[in-house]
Structure 1
Amino acid sequence: MTAKKTSDRIIEAALQLISEKGYTAATTKAIAELAGVNEVTIFRHFGCKHEILKAIIDKFSYNPILQKTIRENVVWDLEKDLLSFSKNYFEYMMSIKDFIMIGFKESIQFPEISEEIANIPLFIKKELMHYFEEMQRKGKIIEVNYEATALSLLALNVGYFLSRARLGATVSQLPTEEFFKTSISIFSRGLTP
């Protein structure tokens, strides 16, 4: 087995155990057993359980996907760009919703999980702040507080994701596409000079 394949098996085993039993019960011994490796192999690859957690978060991080949306796929049309970002964000979050929900549940008891999970929205916030700053420089949006604007867009997206992930269509049967078109249209109008 190559080092990468061994690392992937360890990460997958840890994720499965955390999903089924929680972070505490996912001991390095149990992870090693499920991954089919010696516990020493875990320490050689990751050092400790916290580093496995960081590797899981990195594996499921949506930073590269959203970074590409924010940096490379922009057309400098506010509504189109924000709609693209929101759709990509939602689709990716829904694809890993079980992992996200585990993260929320476990982060209450384990601050180290909260710290790692917080790096993801921090990254997205910074990328959005740069986008809004450039849009303002181009004269395409009004003068705004970039951080507050980025956080507002994130709140809209996170709120919708959490509602759909936890409650499905119970709160609203409005199609996702319609929700984003309407929400982003309203959001964009508030920023347009």
Structure 2
Amino acid sequence: MWRSSRPCQRRKAGLVCVPMPAAIDPDRILDAALAVWREEGFRAATTRKVAARAGVGEMTLFRRYGDKGKLMAAVMAREAERFAPEAMTPTEDVAADLRAIVAGYAELLDRLGSVVFDFLLHAPTDPALAAVRPVPLAAVGRAAQVIAAHQAAGRLQGSDPMAAVLALLGPSLAGALVGRAQPGAIPPFDPVDMVDRFLDGWKTQAR
């Protein structure tokens, strides 16, 4: 005998089967939020637009994330997890580790596109971005931990890992900013060359 997988309730009119709500893929929501943010900017990226893009009810977003800021923080957190994951466990090869970080950061900037620049523009003044602000810093902090490990092993100079990682990644961000304002003005960065230049200033004599 065939049985419906839908829950059924007995009512006066007979047996009524109610369809179960389909499971919602969180990535579908985050993909939609990222797309709307990229296309329209944070301030214009309403939860209503995100819900429509994801094909879910707006109330679903509120139940899952609370508000737009927390939703976008979840977007950034997911993307930050994709930032050079293979490079976040330091090896004995400092140059290889740093090249993986630089290449991963360049890929992240390319993937997120206008979202990064929109965030940098509005983060200092928009209260709605308060939940998002810690996420990029945490991602950079993971890279700083790799540098700290190499400093502790005597492969790199310095006592401030965050200053070192900013020196390492700063050219990529500056190049992306200039390239966005004037496409083609700066050739793509070579991770090998960038790391070699960085190590010229930060390597220890023992290396």
Q: TM-score, normalised by structure 2?
A: 0.70
Q: Is the 8 A contact 2:42 2:118 kept in 1?
A: no
Mapping of residues 173-192 of structure 1, within 5 Å: 173=187, 175-177=188-190, 180-190=191-201, 191-192=203-204
Structure 1 residues 22-80: Cα deviation after superposition (integer angstroms, max 9, x where no partner):
3343333343334333332222222222222122212322x343243131xx4423333
Say how many residue pairs are matched: 183
Give the unaligned 5+ runs of structure 1.
Answer: none
Structure 1 residues 157-180: Cα deviation after superposition (integer angstroms, max 9, x where no partner):
32233333443321x34x532xx3
- Which structure features the higher share of helix residues? 1
1:66 maps to 84
Query: Computing the radius of gyration over CA atoms, which structure comes out larger, 1 or 2?
Result: 2
User: In the alignment, is residue 45 of structure 1 matched against residue 64 of structure 2?
Assistant: yes
User: What is the one-letter code of the residue matched to 1:164?
Assistant: G
Q: 2:103 aligns with which of 70, 87, 92?
A: 87
1:139 and 1:99 map into 2 onto residues whose CA distance is 37
Over 6 Å off, 4+ runs: none
Give the unaligned 5+ runs of structure 2.
Answer: 1-21
1:78 and 1:48 map into 2 onto residues whose CA distance is 41
How far residue 89 of structure 1 moved from its aligned partner, in angstroms, is: 1.5
Q: Alignment identity in percent?
A: 22
How far residue 93 of structure 1 moved from its aligned partner, in angstroms, is: 1.8
1:114 and 1:130 map into 2 onto residues whose CA distance is 24
1:84 and 1:134 map into 2 onto residues whose CA distance is 15
